[in-house]
Amino acid sequence: MPTSLTGLLLFVVMLLPGFAYLVGKERHGTERRLSPFRETVAIVAASVTTELVVIVGLAVIRVLWPSVTPDIGALIRSGSTYLRGSQGHEGQYRIVAAWGLGLLIAAALLAYLATVPKIRRLAERVTGPYPHDSTVSAWWILFERWPQGRDVQVACMLDDGSGVRGQFGSFNASADDSPDRDLILKRPIFYRPPGEDAREVPWDVSAVCCSARRIVSLFIAYSPPEQQNVIPLREEPGPETPAVSAEQSEATLTSEVPTLGLTPPSRSQRSSGPAGPH
């Protein structure tokens, strides 16, 4: 451990790449509650790894263009003299400071880029999927891993018997399947009130927030963006738009509703059982 203020400051500065790595993981990955020991080890390991990479890069540049890089050997042998200078030798503190700051920024940037999903996918053949399925929640798998660029339609069955359906918007990325988080759906939004004979109706809202504590089941449908049905909500007839009856509007909406309808089957359909082959 550092025993002076200068050593402590240098120690903290050297851990900045690890902090950038931790920030990138929180931004691009799932939120996990790590122990202080494991979090510290991750920060130190990320800092040391990225700093070794940039030092190797500095060595390569030193071999190719020695005139634009500091002399590491002279800095180690006589650090104060090399930095401050002496008679007949100009101090090199400017070039050392510039390269030190540049290498620190490069290491922090490299550590952060290691958490970007597009870059992590390039290394998945060697390292496996990131984050691993064992460290994420079921919601992460449904909304982040399995869509693969497709649109996601979600139907939520709530604990009071009602249901909400809409396009996936956002969710809490916690790795724990906790009831204390929310799921946001965006338009078009459809709602079915409680009741055995209740029908699904469109709601003229832009988004809805569903608490995980109230959700009993989630039904998910994936479809390519160009094939996703966009269901317009009801609008008031304008001067050039003919009025449409309620029956015609309901028939139009029903014909355009994708596969995740929330309306339960009628009594006659349940009593008749599954249809036989034609």
**pLDDT by residue (tens digit) across 243-256?**
444 444 444 433 34
For domain 136-233+248-264, the question of CATH label 2.30.30.100 is answered with yes
Of 155, 160, 135, which is closest to residue 145 (Cα–Cα)?
Answer: 135
CA–CA separation, 236 and 54 (whole Å): 63
In sequence order, the β-bridge partners of residue 192 are 163
**pLDDT by residue (tens digit) across 22-74?**
888 877 766 666 677 878 888 889 899 999 999 999 889 988 888 888 877 77
Which two tokens mark 56?
């190797």
The helix (run of H) or strand (run of E) holding residue 250 is helix 246-256
CA–CA separation, 135 and 140 (whole Å): 10
CA–CA separation, 43 and 20 (whole Å): 9
Other Cβ atoms closer than 10 A to 262 = 20
CA–CA separation, 144 and 127 (whole Å): 19
Of 100, 65, 59, which is closest to residue 83 (Cα–Cα)?
Answer: 100
Average pLDDT, the chain: 76
CA–CA separation, 177 and 31 (whole Å): 11
Distance of CA 211 to the CA centre of its chain: 20
CA–CA separation, 164 and 157 (whole Å): 7
Q: What is the pLDDT of residue 167?
A: 93
What are the pLDDT tens digits along the chain (278 aa)? 566 676 677 778 888 998 898 888 877 766 666 677 878 888 889 899 999 999 999 889 988 888 888 877 777 777 677 777 776 667 677 888 888 899 999 999 999 988 887 777 776 666 666 667 667 788 888 888 888 888 899 999 999 989 999 999 998 877 777 788 899 999 899 999 888 788 889 999 999 999 999 999 999 999 876 554 444 433 444 444 444 444 444 444 333 434 466 666 555 544 544 444 44
Q: List b or e across 122-146, with b for residues whose CB sees 16 or more CB atoms inside 10 angstroms.
A: eeeeeeeebbeeeebbebbebbbee
Q: Whole-prediction pTM value?
A: 0.56
Q: What is the pLDDT of residue 145?
A: 81
Q: What is the pLDDT of residue 274?
A: 43
Domain ranges for the chain: 5-127, 136-233+248-264
DSSP string for residues in 64-122: H-GGGS--HHHHHHSHHHHHHEETTEE--HHHHHHHHHHHHHHHHHHHHHTT-HHHHHH
Residue 237 phi, psi (nearest 5): -65, 130
Residue 116 phi, psi (nearest 5): -70, 130
